[in-house]
């Protein structure tokens, strides 16, 4: 089967299957599609489903998806000036070629409870320099773009708080239909007590936790890329190249495997990618990579996502790259895994992947969750493969702010080894480099980990803790295997450490009157090096630059 779209069109389908070298083509990388195309998938939870792939789906079994929309230039940027509540204009940090009529999102720059403050607006006019945008409505909240000098000269530092601005609109739109029978529900009103992301909070509402909610069956469209499991893995049987495409009303809640873009058990996919796309209003994650390797996910903007957004599923996925992406408003889901009810924008289950130059804002829980288990999950289970032993790929130059829980979380633990095998006890250094985190509950935390280093971290205006280190010796280590680890203790080149970093209790920014309770929380056990870490603005008895560990829990009579 061969679909090729060359001109303006609108298609409505219940499902589209591509097998036997079938092709769906809307433009190519060399010649993008420059007209308007909209693919609407129809169906409901009661629709007849294709085995494996489900309903309301573009199903790629053996062939190619090529979807390349009109280039939009930069897909996201930052504010160049603060935009105050009541204004109908924003000034960007750099010029853009975004067209009038395009929808954008301005991220919150508030505190950990500000998830409602990211705002969707439409561009109605632009300045000659393409940096000032006039919006269809005034802003309800102030969005910052400021530089703040902290500390005493000549040893002061300049930090920034700038709202990200992402582009939603593309000329190719893939969407699910919205069942009109749900329109009678109007909306669920905002929960009066709001949403509290705290670990021990009691939630009082099921709907309306983040503001008014429009009624929906939460049964969106999805694209599933899944090669025949019996086909030899010496070549790519499926190729998906998706670029400058807008995905809207996608993903299907309460259903495993029904994600907006889903790479499912394909092996190596070095020529597949998702680039410069937008994903909005997803009821089940954003880009899910399952048993697939070397996929590139770059320069995308996602907004209003239920559950973990960029998701590595079984812990065997390696060589994938997540770069230059923006995620705003990743929110908890009551369906699927526990991890989706406390979601992360990036859920990384195998260390051997690349996460660089990304930004996360205004989520309900976590930014980057590195979750490594002793053995893989699901159909990829292998008792001789140990994800938490794999050496780290790369984590570099990422940002997280205004989110409900932790910016970077390494949990339940990470104990990398030189060979990456289950029985190798020789520790290998895992260096996480250059994280900016502000206005979250915690900046970052590791638990039951060793040979982990945080370098060049800039952490400020956290509600609770800047950096917390729970344990420096993996809990599964036996006394007989700890000797190689002891040799790394307090060693800058090989050992567990926080190095060359800055932790600021309060940035003196006028809208922020609180102080981080603890800048750095030391681990329970030994072996940790703290070197060249600067602490600024911890002025009181209850705001500590550094302290020992504690366990916070709840007691029930």
Reported as a single tens digit per residue, the pLDDT across 100-116 is: 999 999 999 999 999 99
- Given a contact cutoff of 8 angstroms between Cβ atoms, the answer to whether 159 and 145 are in contact is no
Q: How far apart are CA 402 and CA 327, in angstroms?
A: 12
Reported as a single tens digit per residue, the pLDDT across 315-353 is: 999 999 999 999 999 999 876 677 788 999 999 999 999
Q: How far apart are CA 47 and CA 483, in angstroms?
A: 59
> Pick from 286, 318, 265: which is nearest to 61 by CA?
265
The per-residue pLDDT for 334 is: 75
Strand 321-323 relative to strand 296-298: parallel, antiparallel, unpaired?
Answer: parallel
For residue 107, what are its two tokens? 């991220």
- In sequence order, what are the beta bridge partners of 535? 503
The H or E element spanning position 196 is none
Mean pLDDT in residue range 502-506: 95
Q: What percentage of residues in the chain have a pLDDT greater than 70?
A: 87
Q: Is the pLDDT of residue 401 over 80?
A: yes
| 500-525 residues labelled b (16+ CB within 10 A) or e (exposed) | bbbbbbbbebeebeebbbbbbbbbee
Reported as a single tens digit per residue, the pLDDT across 119-140 is: 999 999 999 999 999 999 999 9
**For residues 154 and 224, which has the higher predicted lDDT (pLDDT)?**
224
- In sequence order, what are the beta bridge partners of 386? none
Q: Which H, E and C letters describe 170-182, residue by residue?
A: CCEEEEECCCHHH
DSSP-derived 3-state class of residue 80: coil
Length of the chain: 557
The per-residue pLDDT for 336 is: 64
Q: Is the pLDDT of residue 359 over 70?
A: yes
Q: Is the pLDDT of residue 541 over 80?
A: no
Task: Give the HSE-up count for residue 128: Cα atoms under 13 Å, Cβ half-sphere.
Answer: 0
Backbone dihedral angles phi then psi of residue 26, each to the nearest 5 degrees: -130, 90
Mean pLDDT in residue range 486-502: 94
The per-residue pLDDT for 168 is: 99
Q: Is the pLDDT of residue 96 over 90?
A: yes
- Residue for token digits 């929309």? 69
Reported as a single tens digit per residue, the pLDDT across 20-34 is: 788 999 999 999 999
> Pick from 140, 91, 89: which is nearest to 118 by CA?
140
Q: How far apart are CA 333 and CA 336, in angstroms?
A: 8
Q: Is the pLDDT of residue 57 over 70?
A: yes
Q: How far apart are CA 143 and CA 511, in angstroms?
A: 11
Reported as a single tens digit per residue, the pLDDT across 206-261 is: 565 666 555 568 999 999 999 988 877 778 999 999 999 999 999 999 899 999 99
Question: 363: which residues sit within 8 A by CB, 6+ positions away?
Answer: 115, 327, 328, 329, 330, 331, 343, 344, 345, 403, 404
The per-residue pLDDT for 184 is: 52
Q: Is the pLDDT of residue 460 over 70?
A: yes
Q: Is the pLDDT of residue 475 over 60?
A: no
Q: How far apart are CA 252 and CA 481, in angstroms?
A: 46
Ranges of beta strands (E only) in 350-484 are: 354-356, 359-361, 366-370, 394-401, 406-410, 430-438, 442-446, 452-455, 458-460, 465-469
Question: 430: which residues sit within 8 A by CB, 6+ positions away?
Answer: 351, 391, 392, 414, 416, 451, 452, 453
The model's pTM is 0.93
Q: Is the pLDDT of residue 478 over 70?
A: no
């Amino acid at each position: 089967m061969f679909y090729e779209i060359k001109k303006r069109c609108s298609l409505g389908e219940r499902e589209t299957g591509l097998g036997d070298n079938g092709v769906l083509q809307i433009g190519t990388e060399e010649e993008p599609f420059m007209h308007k195309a909209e693919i609407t998938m129809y169906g409901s939870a009661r629709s007849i489903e294709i085995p494996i792939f489900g309903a309301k789906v573009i199903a790629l079994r053996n062939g190619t998806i090529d979807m390349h929309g009109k280039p939009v230039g930069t897909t996201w940027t930052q504010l160049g000036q603060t935009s105050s509540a009541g204004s109908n204009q924003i000034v960007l940090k750099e010029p853009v070629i975004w067209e009038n009529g395009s929808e954008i999102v301005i991220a919150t720059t508030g505190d950990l409870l500000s998830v409602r403050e990211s705002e969707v607006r439409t561009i109605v006019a632009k300045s000659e320099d393409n940096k000032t945008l006039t919006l269809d409505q005034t802003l309800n909240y102030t969005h910052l773009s400021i530089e703040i000098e902290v500390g005493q000269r000549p040893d002061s530092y300049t930090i920034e708080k700038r709202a990200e601005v992402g582009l939603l609109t593309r000329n190719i739109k893939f969407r699910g239909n919205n069942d009109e029978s749900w329109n009678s529900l109007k909306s669920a009103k905002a929960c009066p007590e709001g949403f509290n992301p705290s670990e021990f909070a009691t939630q009082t509402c099921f709907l309306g936790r983040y503001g008014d909610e429009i009624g929906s069956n939460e049964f969106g469209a999805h694209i599933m890329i899944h090669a025949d499991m019996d086909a030899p893995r010496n070549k790519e049987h499926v190729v998906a190249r998706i670029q400058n495409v807008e995905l809207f009303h996608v993903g299907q809640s309460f259903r495993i495997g029904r994600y907006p873009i889903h790479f499912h058990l394909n092996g190596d996919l070095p020529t597949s990618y998702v680039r410069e796309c937008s994903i909005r209003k997803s009821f089940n994650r954003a880009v899910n990579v399952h048993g697939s390797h070397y996929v590139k996910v770059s320069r995308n903007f996602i907004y209003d996502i239920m559950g973990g957004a960029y998701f590595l599923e079984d812990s065997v996925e390696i060589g994938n790259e997540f770069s230059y992406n923006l995620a705003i408003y990743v929110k908890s889901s009551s369906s699927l895994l526990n991890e989706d009810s406390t979601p992360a924008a990036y859920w990384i289950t195998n260390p051997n992947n690349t996460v660089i130059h990304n930004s996360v804002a205004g989520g309900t829980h976590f930014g980057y969750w590195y979750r490594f288990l002793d053995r893989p999950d699901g159909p990829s289970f292998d008792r001789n493969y140990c994800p938490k032993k794999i050496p780290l790929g790369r984590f570099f130059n990422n940002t997280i702010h205004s989110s409900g829980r932790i910016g970077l979380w390494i949990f339940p633990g990470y104990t990398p080894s030189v060979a990456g095998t289950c029985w190798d006890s020789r520790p290998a250094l895992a260096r996480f480099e250059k994280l900016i985190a502000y206005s979250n509950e915690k900046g970052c935390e590791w638990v039951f980990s060793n040979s982990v280093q945080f370098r060049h971290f800039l952490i400020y205006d956290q509600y609770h803790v800047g950096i917390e280190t729970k344990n420096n010796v993996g809990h599964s280590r036996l006394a007989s295997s700890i000797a190689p680890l002891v040799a790394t203790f307090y060693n800058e080149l090989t050992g567990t450490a926080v190095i060359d970093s800055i932790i600021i209790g309060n940035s003196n920014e006028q809208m922020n009157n609180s102080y981080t309770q603890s800048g750095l929380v030391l681990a329970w056990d030994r072996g940790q090096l703290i070197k060249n870490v600067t602490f600024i603005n911890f002025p009181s008895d209850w705001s500590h630059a550094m302290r020992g560990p504690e366990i916070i829990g709840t007691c029930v009579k």
